[in-house]
Amino acid sequence: MENISEAHRYINNAKEILRDKAKKEDSRYNDRKYVRMAGHTAYLAILVALDGYFGVKKKGRKKVEWYQEQLAKTDKKILNSFLNAYEILHLGMGYDGDLSAVIASEGLKEAEKIINWVESKQEMVSN
């Protein structure tokens, strides 16, 4: 469950970056640099949780397709959440620096949904 506490820490860091550094006004952030940083951080939270769930021991990058394949075999609903989170957090925020606070909020919700799913699956195994 160490992966879950680490994933939650990443999500909290992403929220903190958005709250304290991206400078939200109305429904938009003002600083693209920090939006990108928060997007990458939140996406990494998902990967940390999934790596723990799938028993990935080796450090290093796996392609997004690998995660898609594993989730397709495991749970289609979580696969859809993963695809949404990938689009929003990794591509939209992380690379494009999408300044929409509404989009960022949705991406963080998807990330938390995945992390909570992993946590519940791990609790079932440990009980």
Q: How many domains does the chain have?
A: 1
> Is residue 122 within 8 Å of residue 52, measured between CB atoms?
yes
Q: Encode pLDDT of 94-103 as tens digits.
A: 999 999 999 9
Q: Encode pLDDT of 40-99 as tens digits.
A: 999 999 999 999 999 998 777 789 999 999 999 999 999 999 999 999 999 999 999 999
The domain of 17 spans 2-126
The pLDDT of residue 123: 83
The CATH number that applies at residue 63 is 1.20.120.330
Q: Return d(Cα 95, Cα 40) in angstroms, integer.
A: 8
pLDDT at 110 over 90: yes
